[in-house]
Amino acid sequence: MAPLGTERSLLYFQYIEMILTETRKGRYYTFIHYAHSDPSLYHYPEAMMPKREPNDIKDILKNPEIQEAISSTNQGLIKRINYIPPQCEVFSNRYTRLEEDPRFTFTPDKDAEKQLPDMIHNQVQRVIGVVSGVASGVDSGVDSPDEAFKKNYDKKRTIGIVFSGGPAPGGHNVIAGIFDAAKKVNPESKIYGFLMGPDGIIENEAVELTKDRVDRYRNLGGFTMIKTGRTKIDTAEKMALSRATCKELGLDALVVVGGDDSNTNAAFLAQEMYADGVQVIGVPKTIDGDIQVKDTRGHLLCAMSFGFHSAARAFSAAVSSLSTDCSSDVKYWHICKVMGRVASHLALEVALQTHANMTLIGEDLADYVDQERIQNAEAEGTVDYTAYGMTLRHLSRVVCNAIVKRAAVGKNYGLLVIPEGVLEFINEIQVFIIKLNTIIAEYNDTHDATFHEDFPYLEDKLEYLRRLARQSREESTFSIWNTRDDDLFNDIPAFFQEGLLMERDSHGNFPFSQVKTDKVIMGLVSDYLKILRERGIYKIGIHRDYYRKTLEKANLDPEFFGPILFENPQGKYLLVKPGIISLKTLKQELIRGEAVEPEDEIPPAVEKIYLKSVPDFKTQTHFYGYDGRGTDPTCFDCNYTYNLGLTVFSLIANGATGQMAAIKNLEQDFPEWEPIGIPIAQLMHIEERKGKLALVIEKSVVDVNSTAFRVVEALREKWLAATPGEDEFRRPGPILFSDESEESRPITLLLNAIGNRKPE
Ligand code: FBP
């Protein structure tokens, strides 16, 4: 019989002790080795050996209740897969057509005009229902489609779909929408899914999507059905291969589901395959929420890319749980880095969903103006350009200030949200990123091997930079990297240097998700907190009742000791005087206040109060990114993406190309949603990528004048809750996939929509 209870524990401890002894003797690895090579040498105490019947587990696994418990499906999943998203009203028509909408205009970039001549004149197109007398039983004649239109619309089509870039919840529903619409119109149409992202187009790796396959993934997160990849189709060779694939498969249309860079690529593919008659349509995907489209006059055409709401909800659920934890055991600051590459949209939404104590918004830091510096410079008749934008040091001071304020009311814990791309908005770091982008790109262009192949280790990379700096000094010529850059760069910790020198992605983007942004900021924060503690500024406020009780219990008079110990003896939370920063200084203060004689000990109750006021700054860091990208879509994203899929088909069936499918009025209630096509070429501008200027779609960053941001800004102090009493945390709850349990759209969108309402 296997030993039970204490007997078993005793044997277990003996076993552990044996391993420790072996380890102490330096024989640990030998022991493991023997154990693998000769089981007889593996001294597992016999009584510890589990006694099992050999066939037990087979019978257990046959048990229907066990089978149900461990099945990979469950009721929630079945319900989710079976959910049928509502369709925008226009899709209830048998036919749709496109109508150019002249109300929306853009100012096209000169380079886009040159490089995308057949796409640049595209306009915003609205998807309109066409009343079919025959099909709908409505009076024929009114806008009734003619035979040629019907024939063209209904023809058998071959459509290829590719996911490009990071996953975003809802992608499967885009496929489902296209699949359902295409098959409804013509069951013989074929839909291909390119495998592993754009590589699937280049290498002609595609599968025909069947109903069965599509049905398995309805309303589910991830891009599991066909996978994704980050390759950019950016060379003549890759373009030619992609074109060949489209010809081989006989594609009528290619759908690129991706972020700003992938939609940029879609426009170039549309131009490339224009003469072949292959239409290319983009779909705005990215959890980052940085594809938001307004026309020149500020009309909102696409309020948000898909996946944003689901990821933000997933992050918020986790962050909210930490708010419960930290306000329960009151000992940690939870530092939550949330994804979003550059823009802080996700962090802003998490702030609105959770009311975290502090949320950094990159765009807000870049907007910061140091008035004091400006005034000082003005007084001296100069201009201080460093007064614009926040430095890393200043940012750490702002965070410290918040931590100190909360500690003063007894809350030496809290929740800080940091957007992963926040450093992009800190001038000094941005300068390094741009300079290093250029250096790496130049190196790659002029050498056979890449910068990262030639300099695999940090020390090699630093040596190369040092060489550049030396060269610039010796030759006294302009160089992008001078000795000042090198000195400043050598001042930052190695892990951060490594982060800044990381390989850029195929689109030339800096890999923010790989940089320990939180470590950079929190390193400075804890260093400065130490200084503040030594200066007696960072202290934990002691609740007045606790102080009184502790002293009275020791027969000491709280009224007498109060003014000696505290700077605010009448406050609710008592702050030990700044001058008291050790037991020694405490004793001096007690002597000065005639509470003790020099030869006396500090009364234990007083010592206890002092020690309680000394803060220990403890953090737990968390990264929310990949988990949110892989979450199942919210109801909002399920509905949004399915309708995007339907929109894509309408654009294809009506001959559009170089357009991005979108839903106008996404920020409004569902009945207001309007499917449209947005001309991608008109959204482009010139940007630095891989050290060169390139045409790309402009990323949208947080607008600091938006209602959503201004609400967060206005509630900053309230949510910091550096006041006696409870915190202001909000619990958004998990993604339950029901519109009753979730808000119907991101709070950011809701607030901005309210803010943009025209006065009645
Ligand atoms: P997309 O722009 O491709 O949608 O990806 C966004 C993102 O999730 C960012 O938030 C993050 O910085 C990045 O991808 C991470 O990339 P990787 O998958 O290469 O780690």
| Per-residue pLDDT at 377 | 86
| Lowest mean pLDDT, pick from 162-171, 210-219, 385-394, 573-582 | 385-394
| Per-residue pLDDT at 90 | 97
The string of pLDDT tens digits covering residues 313-355 is: 999 999 999 999 999 999 999 999 999 989 999 999 999 999 9
- Ligand 1 center to residue 473 CA distance, Å? 39
**Residue 602 shares a structural domain with residue 639:** no
Overall average pLDDT of the 193-217 stretch: 98
Q: Answer yes or no: pTM beyond 0.75.
A: yes
| Per-residue pLDDT at 568 | 97
C-alpha to C-alpha distance for 168 and 290, rounded to whole angstroms: 13
- Ligand 1 center to residue 307 CA distance, Å? 12
Q: Whose CA is nearest to atom 15 of ligand 1?
A: 513
In a domain, 673, yes or no: yes
Q: Whose CA is nearest to atom 5 of ligand 1?
A: 166
C-alpha to C-alpha distance for 252 and 266, rounded to whole angstroms: 15
Q: What is the DSSP letter of 349?
A: H
What are the φ and ψ backbone dihedral angles of 659, each rounded to 5 degrees?
-105, 155
What secondary structure does DSSP assign to 497-548, as a single string?
Answer: HHHHTSPP-TT----GGGS-HHHHHHHHHHHHHHHHHHTT-S-PPEEHHHHH
**Residue 557 shares a structural domain with residue 688:** no
What are the φ and ψ backbone dihedral angles of 270, each rounded to 5 degrees?
-60, -40
| Per-residue pLDDT at 17 | 55
The residues facing 679 across adjacent strands are 659
C-alpha to C-alpha distance for 726 and 730, rounded to whole angstroms: 12
339 CA: nearest ligand 1 atom: 10
Selected residue with higher pLDDT from 487 and 652? 652
Overall average pLDDT of the 355-363 stretch: 97
C-alpha to C-alpha distance for 676 and 661, rounded to whole angstroms: 6
Selected residue with higher pLDDT from 10 and 183? 183
C-alpha to C-alpha distance for 505 and 513, rounded to whole angstroms: 12
**Helix (H) / strand (E) containing 662:** strand 659-664
Give, rounded to a whole angstrom, the gap between the first and last alpha carbons of the chain: 82
- Ligand 1 center to residue 23 CA distance, Å? 43
Q: Is-contact 350 313, C-beta < 8 A?
A: no
Checking if the pLDDT of 591 tops 90, the result is yes
- Ligand 1 center to residue 507 CA distance, Å? 12
| Per-residue pLDDT at 700 | 96
Q: Is-contact 265 258, C-beta < 8 A?
A: yes
C-alpha to C-alpha distance for 108 and 291, rounded to whole angstroms: 17
**Helix (H) / strand (E) containing 696:** strand 692-697
**Residue 553 shares a structural domain with residue 662:** no
User: How many beta carbons lie within 10 A of that of residue 144, not counting itself?
Assistant: 18
- Given the structure tokens 């510890």, which residue do they identify? 48
Identify the three-state secondary structure at position 167: coil
**Residue 560 shares a structural domain with residue 692:** no
| Per-residue pLDDT at 302 | 98
Beta-carbon contacts of residue 417 (< 8 Å; ≥ 6 apart): 319, 336, 338, 347, 350, 351, 354, 356, 358, 359, 360
* CB of residue 288 inside a 6 A radius of ligand 1: yes
C-alpha to C-alpha distance for 750 and 708, rounded to whole angstroms: 8
| Per-residue pLDDT at 54 | 62
What secondary structure does DSSP assign to 59-117, as a single string?
Answer: HHHH-HHHHHHH-S--HHHHHHHH------GGGGSSEEEEEE-TT------HHHHHH-T
What secondary structure does DSSP assign to 551-604, as a single string?
Answer: HHHTT--HHHHHHHHBS-TTSSEE-B-TT--SHHHHHHHHHHTTSS-TTSPPPH
**Residue 237 shares a structural domain with residue 173:** yes
**Cα angle for residues 359, 362, 367 (degrees, 5° grid):** 115
Give catalytic residue positions: 288
**Residue 183 shares a structural domain with residue 249:** yes
305 CA: nearest ligand 1 atom: 4
Q: Which of 230, 341, 418 to mutate to test the pocket of ligand 1 (most atoms within 8 A of CB)?
A: 341
307 CA: nearest ligand 1 atom: 4
**Residue 674 shares a structural domain with residue 585:** no
| Per-residue pLDDT at 2 | 40
Q: Which of 629, 696, 697 to mutate to test the pocket of ligand 1 (most atoms within 8 A of CB)?
A: 629
* CB of residue 361 inside a 6 A radius of ligand 1: no
- Ligand 1 center to residue 513 CA distance, Å? 7
In a domain, 490, yes or no: no
* CB of residue 165 inside a 6 A radius of ligand 1: yes
- Ligand 1 center to residue 339 CA distance, Å? 8
Q: Which of 196, 286, 292 to mutate to test the pocket of ligand 1 (most atoms within 8 A of CB)?
A: 286
CA separation, residue 667 to residues 277, 309, 552, 686, 744 (Å): 35, 12, 60, 29, 10
In a domain, 463, yes or no: no
Q: Report residue 42 as tokens.
A: 């593996």
Checking if the pLDDT of 356 tops 70, the result is yes
Identify the three-state secondary structure at position 372: helix
Overall average pLDDT of the 743-758 stretch: 90
Q: Is-contact 306 340, C-beta < 8 A?
A: no
* CB of residue 172 inside a 6 A radius of ligand 1: no
Q: Is-contact 467 482, C-beta < 8 A?
A: no
Q: Which of 263, 512, 513, 631 to mutate to test the pocket of ligand 1 (most atoms within 8 A of CB)?
A: 513
Q: Which of 366-380, 450-464, 470-484 is predicted most confidently?
A: 450-464
* CB of residue 271 inside a 6 A radius of ligand 1: no
**Helix (H) / strand (E) containing 294:** strand 293-294
**Cα angle for residues 259, 117, 253 (degrees, 5° grid):** 55
CA 759 distance to own-chain centroid: 35
CA separation, residue 47 to residues 18, 38, 321 (Å): 15, 20, 42
Q: How do 414-419 and 333-338 pair as beta strands?
A: parallel
| Per-residue pLDDT at 431 | 86
285 CA: nearest ligand 1 atom: 4
626 CA: nearest ligand 1 atom: 8
Overall average pLDDT of the 71-79 stretch: 89
**Residue 583 shares a structural domain with residue 682:** no
**Residue 569 shares a structural domain with residue 608:** yes
Selected residue with higher pLDDT from 429 and 292? 292
- Structural domain boundaries, residue 591: 541-613
| Per-residue pLDDT at 740 | 62
Which of 645, 680, 697 is the last residue before a domain boundary?
697
The string of pLDDT tens digits covering residues 528-567 is: 999 999 999 999 999 999 999 999 999 999 999 999 999 9
* CB of residue 339 inside a 6 A radius of ligand 1: yes
Which strands sit side by side in the sheet containing 206-208, from one edge to the other? 95-100, 125-130, 674-679, 659-664, 279-284, 253-258, 158-163, 190-194, 206-208
287 CA: nearest ligand 1 atom: 4
168 CA: nearest ligand 1 atom: 4
Which of 613, 646, 671 is the last residue before a domain boundary?
613
514 CA: nearest ligand 1 atom: 20
**Cα angle for residues 531, 535, 538 (degrees, 5° grid):** 75
- Ligand 1 center to residue 287 CA distance, Å? 8
Q: Report residue 602 as tokens.
A: 């500090």
Domains: count for the chain = 2
Selected residue with higher pLDDT from 400 and 147? 400
| Lowest mean pLDDT, pick from 468-477, 569-578, 584-593 | 468-477
Q: Whose CA is nearest to atom 11 of ligand 1?
A: 341
In a domain, 693, yes or no: yes
The string of pLDDT tens digits covering residues 408-417 is: 999 999 999 9
Q: Is-contact 724 575, C-beta < 8 A?
A: no
Beta-carbon contacts of residue 343 (< 8 Å; ≥ 6 apart): 288, 289, 290, 362, 363, 419, 421, 699, 700, 701, 702
Selected residue with higher pLDDT from 570 and 378? 570
| Per-residue pLDDT at 15 | 53
* CB of residue 307 inside a 6 A radius of ligand 1: no
**Cα angle for residues 605, 610, 615 (degrees, 5° grid):** 140
* CB of residue 166 inside a 6 A radius of ligand 1: yes
Overall average pLDDT of the 112-125 stretch: 97
In a domain, 625, yes or no: no
- Ligand 1 center to residue 642 CA distance, Å? 22
- CATH code (residue 275): 3.40.50.450
Checking if the pLDDT of 140 tops 50, the result is no
- Ligand 1 center to residue 299 CA distance, Å? 28
* CB of residue 163 inside a 6 A radius of ligand 1: no
| Per-residue pLDDT at 491 | 84
Overall average pLDDT of the 588-599 stretch: 97
Confidence of residue 387 (pLDDT cuts 50, 70, 90): confident
In a domain, 69, yes or no: no
**Residue 93 shares a structural domain with residue 165:** yes
**Residue 193 shares a structural domain with residue 234:** yes
Q: Whose CA is nearest to atom 10 of ligand 1?
A: 340
Q: Report residue 410 as tokens.
A: 């007894």
In a domain, 103, yes or no: yes
C-alpha to C-alpha distance for 201 and 227, rounded to whole angstroms: 13
In a domain, 77, yes or no: no
* CB of residue 342 inside a 6 A radius of ligand 1: no
Identify the three-state secondary structure at position 31: helix
Give a three-class secondary structure readout of 669-684. Answer: CHHHCEEEEEEHHHHE
- Ligand 1 center to residue 512 CA distance, Å? 9
**Residue 548 shares a structural domain with residue 688:** no
